[in-house]
């Protein structure tokens, strides 16, 4: 079955929004919980102190597989069918994680839940970017902010559960059927065909530009999250203080997704992406000062907050098959979150602690350069919205 074309301008009703928000809350909770629960899981399943280290990677592997299948296979099955199948995978995986009596079963269920997570994040971000016109950037930020709230609740729920951490996953799996309304988000007429590059071409310059933008953005975000505490400890903060202060980056990321869209509703995705990357990179340069570092990292998270939603909206405005492009961008983001923080490892070996934030800022500079390149490539490709703005006529479709 051919995939449905992008549907634009169709309003999303309140019950559907409620389902989307609840689902992203559950996705955030289940995504953050395995890492936090690992010490308790080792005890519960009789693992060694080093056992289970690949649990989070298994979840991400399932997500990556689903993103690739849904991105490149969306021409062969309907979104409605895919969304329902992904919901079943996520719910079933979480329930089995909650009741598994053997480690191998818990591990396999983690991969299944991860597959549901990856596909749902891809589909719903793509649908929201397409369907809500001028409100899409705001809603993209809000659903990803709710995901962040879930990611905060996950470790807290694990801590509160004590020796019964499996109940956290079981509860998420039991609640997942409440979001079945997300299957109604696909009933709309396709948009008219536009002269845009085919995302399936391996060397499509426009999609490649977005792929590298996602790669550098993810490397920047993950790098700060992974190395902020190390930098703070090297400039004189105690280990406990560094761990506590490092959470400010994630708080800033969550708060920024609620606040920034409210003051940038008339701005283009291109403008938002560029400004945010400049401000976040400048914050990392300020972080080289030990006294200002905690506040600078919080500011970095705040300014980075709208970048991913802006990229998703930008893709929706310039690429015809935005789901395939999003799939490639999410895949590159996962690669960037693994590879680029390794670049910071080399900086950690240098005698000056400031080398850590400077190396993060260098990744930010690469992201800024890529963001500047996207409109140039888009104009040469004849893509609509080449400068990051939607065409006025599209709102009438």
Closest CA to 310 of 273, 356, 259: 273
Q: What is the pLDDT of residues 266-317, one digit of tens each?
A: 788 899 999 999 999 999 999 999 999 999 999 999 999 999 999 998 998 8
- Give residue-wise pLDDT tens across range 149-161: 998 898 889 989 9
Going by pLDDT thresholds of 50, 70 and 90, the confidence category of residue 394 is very low
Look at residue 310 in the predicted model and tell me its pLDDT: 92
Tell me: pLDDT of 187 over 60. no
Nearest of 65, 57, 49, 66 to residue 31 by alpha carbon: 57
Domains and CATH numbers, the chain: 14-186 (1.20.1250.20), 205-383 (1.20.1250.20)
- Write down the pLDDT at residue 265: 75
In angstroms, the CA 337 to CA 222 distance is 5
Tell me the average pLDDT across 112-133.
86
Distance CA 159, CA 374 (A): 44
- Chain position carrying tokens 């269920």: 109
As a whole number, the mean pLDDT across the chain is: 83
Q: Is residue 382's pLDDT more than 80?
A: no
> pLDDT of 224-278, one tens digit each?
887 888 888 888 888 778 877 877 888 898 899 899 888 877 788 899 999 999 9
Whole-angstrom distance, CA of residue 41 vs CA of residue 32: 14
For residue 369, is pLDDT > 90?
A: yes
Banded pLDDT at 383 (limits 50, 70, 90): low
Residue 121 scores a pLDDT above 80: yes
* Distance, CA of 63 to CA of 59 (rounded, Å): 6
* Low-confidence winner among 123-137, 147-161, 179-193 (lowest mean pLDDT): 179-193
- Cα separation, 213 vs 369, in Å, equals 9
The DSSP call for residue 285 is H
| Better-scored residue on pLDDT, 289 or 397 | 289
Among residues 252, 237, 361, the alpha carbon closest in space to that of 292 is found at 237
| Largest separation between any pair of C-alpha atoms in the chain | 61
Cα dihedral value 53, 148, 66, 57, nearest 10: -10
């Amino acid at each position: 079955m051919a995939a449905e074309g992008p549907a634009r301008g169709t309003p999303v009703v309140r019950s559907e929004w409620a389902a989307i928000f609840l689902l992203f809350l559950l996705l955030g909770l289940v995504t953050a919980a395995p890492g936090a629960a690992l010490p308790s899981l080792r005890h519960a399943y009789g693992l060694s102190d080093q056992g289970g280290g690949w649990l989070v990677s298994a979840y991400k592997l399932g997500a990556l597989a689903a993103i690739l299948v849904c991105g490149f296979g969306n021409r062969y099955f309907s979104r409605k069918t895919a969304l329902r199948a992904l919901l079943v995978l996520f719910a079933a995986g979480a329930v089995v994680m909650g009741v598994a009596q053997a480690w191998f079963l818990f591990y396999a269920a983690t991969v299944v839940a991860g597959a549901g997570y990856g596909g749902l994040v891809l589909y719903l971000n793509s649908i929201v970017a397409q369907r809500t016109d001028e409100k899409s950037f705001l809603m993209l930020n809000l659903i990803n902010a709710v995901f962040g709230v879930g990611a905060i609740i996950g470790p807290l729920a694990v801590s509160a559960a004590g020796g019964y951490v499996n109940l956290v996953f079981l509860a998420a799996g039991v609640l997942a059927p409440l979001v079945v309304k997300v299957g109604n988000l696909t009933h709309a007429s396709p948009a008219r065909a536009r002269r845009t590059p085919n995302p399936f071409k391996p060397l499509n310059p426009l999609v490649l530009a977005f792929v590298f933008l996602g790669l550098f953005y993810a490397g920047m975000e993950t790098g700060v999250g992974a190395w902020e505490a190390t930098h703070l400890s090297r400039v004189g903060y105690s280990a406990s203080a560094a761990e506590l202060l490092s959470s400010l980056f994630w708080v800033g990321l969550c708060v920024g997704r609620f606040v920034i869209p409210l003051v940038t509703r008339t701005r283009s995705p291109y403008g938002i992406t560029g400004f945010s990357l400049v401000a976040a990179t400048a914050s990392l340069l300020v972080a080289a000062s030990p006294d200002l570092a905690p506040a600078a990292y919080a500011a970095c998270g705040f300014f980075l907050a709208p970048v991913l939603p802006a990229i998703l909206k930008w893709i929706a405005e310039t690429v015809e098959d935005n789901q395939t492009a999003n799939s490639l961008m999410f895949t590159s983001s996962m690669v960037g979150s693994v590879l680029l923080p390794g670049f910071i490892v080399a900086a950690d070996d240098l005698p000056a602690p400031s080398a850590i934030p400077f190396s993060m800022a260098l990744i930010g500079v690469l992201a800024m350069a890529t963001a500047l390149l996207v409109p140039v490539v888009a104009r040469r490709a004849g893509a609509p919205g080449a400068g990051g703005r939607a065409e006025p006529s599209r709102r009438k479709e």
